[in-house]
Amino acid sequence: MAKDKLFTPGTIGPLKIRNRTIRSAGFEGMCPGGFPSDSLINYHRSVAAGGIGMTTVAYVSVTNGGRTFSHQAWMRPEAIPYFKKLTDAVHREGAAVSVQLGHAGNMGDSKVSGDRAVSPSGRLCLFGLTLPRKMSESDIEELARAHGRAVAMACEAGFDAVEIHAGHGYLISQFLSPFTNRRTDRFGGSLENRARFLRMVMKEARKAAGKKTAVLVKTNLEDGFSGGMDKKEGIEVAKILEDEGADALVLSGGFTSKTPFYMLRGLTPHRELISYQKDPLIKLGMIMFSRIMIRDYPYTEAFFLEDAVKIRDAVKLPLVYVGGLVSRKKIDEVLGRGFDFVAIARALVAETDFVDRIRKDPSHVSKCLRCGPCNSCVATMYMGEMRCTYEG
């Protein structure tokens, strides 16, 4: 019975998880100087204590040049003891812990890293007003290897799983999307060519993970705009990832530099986003154009479900549903449609013990639903420490 599935153990590759809930990789900030802080450790420990099956540390770059914020971590040997402290804290609460690994590509901030941003085609990116350098084949090969090195360090730090970020308009997604990939060599043109970098990353990640660490991949159902990767190609990418040995897929959508709230839905916190912006030029641009350039998308619970079901029909590997879950009733429905796990972010910002709450009271609904969702918690990441600001 679907209603009994939620609190049963589940398996992703070599990893057994105590129930079917995963804390989604929603960016927390909380990494001043690029190192996990006590606040980050305490947050994930609290989510684990609150009943989650597995919690995911969000966006950790595989290189310094792949960062977009100064309070964003990157995986390097000096950071391993900090991450080990986090994984130990989560394990003491009985949960598993994963880390999302990726590279920002054309959204990388040179003021943070000192390095010029890179991208498949070197085109202007309005997110952060960057003019990235077009990647050479040696750049592509090196960044694929960087993903493998980051996976190896994540294993050393005690993570049970890694999540390769291949969605949301980050670097792998930039290669997959015809909007950002205008190359004419073997990395551009057909989807098979555009997916070549993804295959290279997966080979490095699988080799580094070995047989003890699960490899999940966050991938787009679609980019969410004309000229981007569409739903048909989203299905083909899922098949490619199954072929490359992914242990599970996390199904999302949207493009941070083009359709940032497609993946979130609800209200866009324009005022908060503007007030938290430190760069005066970007702040002025946001004051003038944010309401024109950043589109609102209506929120309905489980808003990706009907598109995600098409992936369920196309592949056999475990699937993680993510997108707007705030109630036990809808979670049970999603699990009943053939998904193996559900991923939750905003509800766990508002209530770190959300999972225990819906275990004890199946009628409980997250206050995220009551706030709009307002998405103000998303804006707080610019200040360095994600938090819920809703007081209702």
Six-digit token pair at 348? 């766990």
Tokens of 202: 């997966």
Which residues are within 8 A (CB) of 86 and not within 5 positions of it... i.e. 6 or more apart? 36, 40, 41, 44, 45, 57, 97, 157
Q: What angle do CA 82, 205, 79 make, to 5 degrees?
A: 15
Q: What rounded mean pLDDT belongs to the chain?
A: 91
DSSP tag of 82: H
Q: Are 206 and 237 in contact (CB under 8 A)?
A: no
The answer on pLDDT for 353 being more than 70 is: yes
The pLDDT of residue 378: 67
Catalytic residue set:
170
- Least Cα distance to 373 among 281, 301, 306 occurs for 301
Pairing of strands 96-102, 161-166: parallel
> Which tokens hold the place of 231?
């739903």
What is the torsional sign of CA 112, 116, 120, 124?
Answer: positive
Supply 326's token pair: 């705030």
Residue 296 has pLDDT above 50, yes or no: yes
Do 120 and 107 form a contact (C-beta atoms < 8 A)? no
What is the three-class DSSP state of 130?
Answer: strand
Please report the DSSP string for 226-285 in residue order. Answer: TTS--HHHHHHHHHHHHHTT-SEEEEE--BTTTBTTTTT-B---HHHHHHH---HHHHHH
Select the more confidently predicted residue: 196 or 277: 196
What confidence category does residue 1 fall into, taking pLDDT thresholds of 50, 70 and 90? very low
Res 289 pLDDT > 90: no
How confident is the model over 212-230, as pLDDT tens digits? Answer: 999 999 999 999 999 999 9
Rounded distance, CA 374 to CA 35, Å?
29
What pTM was estimated for this model as a whole?
A: 0.92
| Residue pLDDT, tens place only, 238-266 | 999 999 999 999 999 999 888 887 887 77
Structure tokens, 364: 């409980």
Tell me: cis bond preceding 373? Omega within 30 of 0 counts.
Answer: yes
Contacts of 258 (CB under 8 A, 6+ apart): 169, 179, 223, 224, 225, 228
C-alpha distances in Å from residue 84, one per residue of 154, 160, 222:
9, 11, 35
| Mean pLDDT of the 348-365 span | 95
- With CA atoms as reference, report the closest residue to 189 among 254, 120, 259, 125: 120
| Beta strands, E only, the chain | 10-12, 15-17, 21-23, 54-61, 96-102, 118-119, 133-134, 161-166, 214-220, 248-252, 319-322, 341-344
